[in-house]
Structure 1
């Protein structure tokens, strides 16, 4: 491979790469590149291009901008290393992060001209402005990295500038604006958890709060549960679907995001009693039978696909709005905190999602093995390992798990 440089005007050079003769037509092949800068800079760029050609890493010059590539990547479903499309909700989140934080700053730049120092400056400006949390900044970094990695795999750029970025935003463990992240959230003592559960007894979401505390299931998994998922005789609950809220499809029921999401959970007697009482209430509503009337409930059939915690104002099969559910929980927590303040007691600062972390923490503190807890809550053991370090492991995991779940639920259900 050979290359030559011609000055077109002060500060502007043409780099001509000689690729030899075409084996079919016999015509000489050349690649022209425009370079603006010094003569030394043009020499360095020429040498770099020749090296890429020799290593078969050469990328054709393109006018594609970063903004245009972001749109193409999102339109293609944001494929990653495995070339699989992400869920609709995740896709919309990716698009929102890139279009809000990347395109306004770097969207006009040519994709092939993007360099690591520009990304470093972007991250530094984001951190200085303090307009978004450190966790969101890290999400921006992760999504941008996936976007540029795909461009590199497709041969649109010769090298991924993310590999040279130095100002990588560090994630936080807790994001108060995200109800579905797998952080451990706020911890509550046993007495505080009991007070929280007791305080929700007058609330319509009491059964869901109890089930969350007793299983560590995610909010969107709980809201997608059907009564057919409960086997009261075997004391088990199947989790095999979740809600997804997207702009394109609205609220819909979908399979779990990963294989770990499919699982069967053991339940204690107290939690089953709460669920059966809720089912009885719904059966009476379905038949229009007053709560104090004696009736054979076995004759009252709910729809086969009836949800455990539906939007009853609509139907037994219509899911609750996830955000409204979390808002109802937050409003109730606020009222409980006000009541406790009047009694000179500390407030309860917890999100609904924190019940998941509280459940996992209780099991780990009791010595249940990490992989057993991870399987129960449908999480990656590596994720748990990051958030729950220095925890004990039980040598008799299954027996300890059963005893701990029974004791945990009995404690918060009997209080008050």
Structure 2
């Protein structure tokens, strides 16, 4: 039997849910069917590899060979020859000494930050960083300085005096942390300038290349490689295998001694079940396909540029993309939700970002380019976004209006 008090312990959840409903911020899961006539500009399948026959075949072969699951932590039974093969090829492709594969991109970021920082360490974090980086900073127990978005001089100011002001011990450690491409507006971090700032201060640079791998750099080797930082002794790159590679999982790339340390210190590696073999097989199949077809990276960048050019020409406030993400600002959170819904009803799925998920507080549609979009697909997507745009999305003379 339960008394009346026990039935009220979660009453606060009803209040929180009502508050979300009234502010238009309630979320719900929307299961999708296996197939749909809708044009997908909401997912992150940048290279169109998620359903590629070769990638699916690689996943199936891995399942037949290794089974459906990893069966345990990587340090127990969850590390297979397939994982080692994937790590070796990812490290070589991205230009680093070594790589470590984890169950998700989120877990990879937590692993890197919690294992490389700690009490007495300073982490300087870009204000636009992804939630997984933010959580990694919090869990590291380090001192965290959040600096204005994409401003190397702000990183320099935060780092100044910390490293050289503490002779010896853990207090000398410092990390600068940034996304390579920010998922809200699709803009790229100034990685070369950030690396110079870090070297001047004696700090390490940790870059989440989730939106750069497969899209930027020669043949899609990523933003870190494009900036000439791949393999640097003071740079660590993380990435997800669920975007351009169309699979699941995450990876940390860096100097061999960094990876060895993560194996011994990263809790999301030590205490989590290893990446499922079918996902590892799919990621490896996608990586090999990309190496044979490097033009896919250039194609997705071209598609993103076309989306931006045509939407901006129509008077919409579309941000110029540095990779595959095209952001289109909406006048309010409510307008963004209605706009995304109207696009969906017209057969084009788009993302909808609004507070509190966006650090700048600006609501927007988020369109993701794909290398496999045809000219007809682009025509359809552009026409739909323009036709469903709220009146306040652009000014009366075609000049985009400021967001509310």
TM-score range, shorter chain: under 0.3
Structure of greater relative contact order (alpha carbons < 8 Å, 6+ residues apart): 2
The structure whose Rg is larger is: 1
TM-score, normalising length from structure 2? 0.25
